[in-house]
Amino acid sequence: MVMEIATSVFHTGITVIIHLLELMGVAIILFGAVRDFFWYFTGKTTNIRLDLAQSMALGLEFKLGGEILRTVVARNLYDLFTVGVIIALRAALNFLIHWEISHIEQDEAVLREQKQREDAQEEPPHPPRRLNRRSP
Q: Mean pLDDT, 10 residues at a time, over the chain (136 residues)?
A: 89 94 96 91 81 91 90 85 88 89 87 84 63 59
Q: In angstroms, rounded to a whole number, what is the distance separating the alpha carbons of residues 44 and 32?
A: 14
Residue 100 lies in a domain: yes
Residue 25 lies in a domain: yes
Q: How many domains does the chain have?
A: 1
Buried b (16+ CB within 10 A) or exposed e, 61-72: ebbbbbbebbee
Residue 108 lies in a domain: yes
Host domain of residue 10: 2-119
Residue 127 is predicted with a pLDDT of 61
pTM score: 0.71
Residue 130 lies in a domain: no
Question: What's the Rg (C-alpha) of the chain?
Answer: 28
Residue 73 lies in a domain: yes
Residue 135 lies in a domain: no
Residue 125 lies in a domain: no
Residue 16 lies in a domain: yes
Q: In angstroms, rounded to a whole number, what is the distance separating the alpha carbons of residues 132 and 51?
A: 59
Residue 80 is predicted with a pLDDT of 85
Residue 55 is predicted with a pLDDT of 93
Q: What does each C-alpha distance from 24 to 20, 29, 63, 77, 80 come to in angstroms?
A: 6, 9, 8, 28, 23
